[in-house]
Structure 1
């Protein structure tokens, strides 16, 4: 794929994909936005989420409720507790944004899905850089059919385990994974990520382990910092290859995203709860045709 860096007085733009693909982007002024606040999750792997003695919401989850049912309006407050070290974060990063309000939009043209994220750049913490190559990374995941256990309730938390890297005492070689994950059985998350410093976008998946490349659905990713505000747009085909979730009009997909702000790595990101993305059908975020 062609990668082009476009620079101007308004800010820095990274385009990944062909000019024809990027030119097909929707008129975003006509697309409704969903307000989602991503927050620091601390050490809250899925095992902690489901441990009723530590997380009171475990009972609700076992009854079929979702994390967003209980916590959508209080994620900023939750982030403050983790960022301060008050709760489930043994090594907080002083000055790092506890949460980030993000506007999420989606649209399609019948062949391609477009997902747009916009947010204000938080103040830098001044802490040592965990990822010195990338001031910002943003990723979103899709899951189809609820084949991954808890994907329809807890978003990407089904990939977050206590033995994954950057968790206390975990091996640095242990990547994110899905319990019982299998591409052949359709038990996986489709993963798309954009990195600001490396000037790259990645199309991968999370099954028995996280794989950052190999997908064929992502055809474009463009990021821009303008006046202290980020805009990142992903373009992906409805159909791809192994590790790509096939999209269809009238269907709903499990959706979650995360921002690695302030040169963060591992669990020190800001993450969303789990939401639903619908293609021409009712959901938390609806991609309608333009």
Structure 2
């Protein structure tokens, strides 16, 4: 056999091996194969996250402190009143003028985020994109992770989640709040996995390059869920893009998703090595699977 023929055979064999390897990779990670091929064709929802300071659930429901407490008691959502002024609120709080006893000089008061959602009938895909704010230059609370992003889902069981998003897990006695015990984690009122009263919590950490699938019930737990398939992020210039792939059904602490249903939805970014309450958060929104909502995941 000529050298040219032998070389051709080797190339064919290598191509076959590469193809088999690709098929094996897709079989092992079917979510990667079914994600939207072009995310730019998926409609984006603009959500401005803001710095909340010490505005815990107890504060937003106290009429003598928060003017919107009466509206909340009537059933109005936080976003009904504040969705257009989140950047202004964040700047007011981060500066220390209100609700922040320990302001961090130079910290961003808000972060505009583009949110895209899609699904393939079996897996939900969420993509978050935002420009990296200028670093404040303060102490690194989480030295391992320059950025963390997390989202939470509720199936209508957590009291207050329909109006406030993640706020029902933010309490004045949780750690990093003034005077709180360092051992007190996030929790929800009457939280119970057995009763279905919990937030489904998913997080990605930039330094660890790892996703976490947990929940918040009577306490926050960062593992145990079975729905998360993949969580990936990258910084391109000054723009972060983080994508999650999550099965509709999972295990303990995973909210089961279904087409035609709407779920309470909120998310947060820990920027500039932040930890605890020193993050930027969204108000409460609705995530719909093939149905009208603030953020809609349509089948691709």
TM-score (norm 1): 0.93
Compute the displacement of 1:19 (Å): 5.0
Counterpart Cα distance in 1 of 2:154 and 2:106? 34
What are the within-5 Å matches in structure 2 for residues 254-269 of structure 1? 254-269=264-279
Are residue 237 (structure 1) and residue 237 (structure 2) matched?
Answer: no
Rg larger in structure: 2
**1:58 correspondence with 2:58:** no
Q: Does 1:201 align with 2:211?
A: yes
Listed as ranges, the gaps of 5+ residues in structure 2 are: 1-27
Identify the match of residue 130 of structure 2 among 97, 119, 132. Answer: 119
Matched, 1:44 2:55: yes
> Following the alignment from structure 1 to structure 2, what is the Cα–Cα distance between the partners of residues 122 and 20?
34
How far has the Cα of 1:21 moved from its partner?
A: 2.7
**Partners of 2:194 and 2:72 in 1: CA distance:** 27
- Relative contact order, CA 8 A, sep 6+: which one is greater? 1
Matched residue SS, 2:274: coil
Aligned to 2:163: 153
* Contact 2:54 2:177 (C-alpha < 8 Å) held by counterparts: yes
Uncovered stretches (5+) of structure 1, i.e. residues with no partner: 1-17
CA distance in 1, matches of 2:183, 2:296: 37
**What is the distance in 2 between the residues matched to 1:268 and 1:242?**
29
Q: Distance in 2 between matches of 1:267 and 1:56?
A: 22
4+ long deviations beyond 3 Å: none
Whole-angstrom CA distance in 2 between matches of 1:164 and 1:230: 29
- The Cα RMSD (Å) is 1.0
CA contact (8 A) 2:232 2:242 kept: yes
1:168 aligns with 2:178: yes
More strand by share: 1
Aligned length: 273
Higher share in helix: 2
Alignment match, 1:141: 152
